[in-house]
């Protein structure tokens, strides 16, 4: 279904820039500090600038409009939950076992296991804007307008601790089956009718939690980060602007920008999966209610 972009090439370039910056004296001599950047290190700065320019484009790729949609908690969802609860209490599990129900493509475990595995990525995604995106957006706005503040990037380094690969595995491990179909036997999804009620409720609650992350706000902020990175990538090669660059500054900003691009895409993937799960459970609930009647 949805997979993360292969960041290997960009990661290799990021690491090469960090190594190059560590082997080059980036700060000017004391008597020439107003210049900030010397011609001897322009190759490093130019490479760093090009990397930021590329990341400014890459960071927006994970939030395409066709993969995410708003998921408000509706009165229809609550009404359907009541109907499903009645049907599941009334229906005989044995009679429903072979019924084909809609699932997220590739589901290879029970609904309960799937949602348990998704708790971590969803929690991260809900807090994505406040904890990771907004602080970096503010930093970039300051860095673009006040070069002297450029070295404070380490104050927004919380994103480095996000286990993107682990969260992505938590999302996709329950979906290791046939991704070409979105239908599965009811007995393979749950072992009790009562669990189906809980799964439906969790699915719409998770969707509501993701909706509270404010997709429109996130997209606008990501676009602004992209814009600011583009500006910064051009400004740092202008030695007249007084950016004071050193190996740590380049390392921190390279790492954070790269990590944020991966987290942004993870946010988009998580949003898409949760949306798909809600839609699947709504279709399944309607089918179960109809069959039990």
3-state secondary structure of 101: strand
**d(Cα 168, Cα 105) in Å, to the nearest integer?**
16
The whole-number average pLDDT for the span 185-190 is: 97
For position 89, what pLDDT does the model report? 95
Per residue in 120-139, pLDDT (tens digit) is 999 999 999 999 999 999 99
- What does residue 224 show for φ and ψ, rounded to 5 degrees? -70, -40
Domain map of the chain by residue range? Answer: 8-292
pLDDT range class, residue 37, cuts 50, 70, 90: very low
pLDDT at 103 over 80: yes
Would you state the pLDDT for residue 129? 94
How many residues are given for the chain?
A: 293
Question: For 262-287, how does the pLDDT look when each residue is reduced to its tens digit (9 = 90+)?
Answer: 999 999 999 999 999 999 999 999 99
Query: How many helices, marked H, and strands, marked E, lie in the chain?
Result: 12, 2
The packing angle between helices 215-235 and 134-145, to 10°, is: 30
CA distances from 107 to 118, 121, 255 (A): 13, 17, 34
Q: What is the pLDDT of residues 200-235, one digit of tens each?
A: 999 999 999 998 888 899 999 999 999 999 999 999
> Is the pLDDT assigned to residue 108 strictly greater than 80?
yes
Cα dist. 208→85, 201, 275 in Å?
Answer: 20, 11, 10
């Amino acid at each position: 279904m949805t997979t993360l972009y292969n960041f290997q090439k960009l990661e290799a370039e990021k690491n090469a820039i960090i190594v190059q910056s560590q082997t080059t004296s980036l700060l000017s001599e004391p008597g020439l500090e107003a210049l900030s950047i010397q011609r001897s290190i322009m190759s490093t700065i130019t490479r760093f600038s090009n990397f930021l320019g590329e990341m400014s484009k890459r960071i927006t790729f994970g939030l395409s409009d066709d993969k995410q949609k708003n998921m408000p908690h509706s009165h229809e969802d609550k009404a359907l939950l009541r109907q499903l609860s009645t049907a599941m209490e009334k229906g005989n599990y044995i009679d429903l076992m072979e019924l084909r129900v809609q699932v997220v493509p590739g589901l290879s475990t029970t609904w309960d296991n799937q949602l348990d595995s998704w708790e971590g990525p969803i929690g991260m995604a809900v807090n994505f804007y406040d904890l990771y995106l907004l602080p970096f957006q503010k930093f970039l706005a300051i860095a673009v307008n006040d070069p002297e503040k450029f070295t404070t990037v380490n104050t927004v380094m919380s994103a480095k601790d996000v286990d993107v690969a682990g969260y992505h595995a938590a999302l996709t491990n329950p979906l290791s089956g046939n991704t070409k179909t979105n239908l599965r036997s009811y007995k393979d999804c749950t072992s009790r009718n009562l669990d189906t009620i809980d799964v439906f409720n969790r699915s719409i609650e998770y969707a509501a939690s993701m909706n509270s992350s404010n997709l429109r706000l996130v997209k606008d902020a990501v676009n602004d980060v992209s814009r600011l990175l583009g500006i910064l990538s051009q400004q740092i090669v202008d030695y007249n602007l007084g950016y004071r660059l050193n190996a740590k500054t380049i390392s921190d900003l390279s790492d954070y920008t790269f990590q944020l691009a991966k987290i942004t895409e993870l946010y988009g993937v998580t949003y898409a999966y949760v949306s798909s799960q809600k839609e699947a459970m709504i279709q399944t609930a309607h089918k179960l209610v109809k069959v039990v009647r």
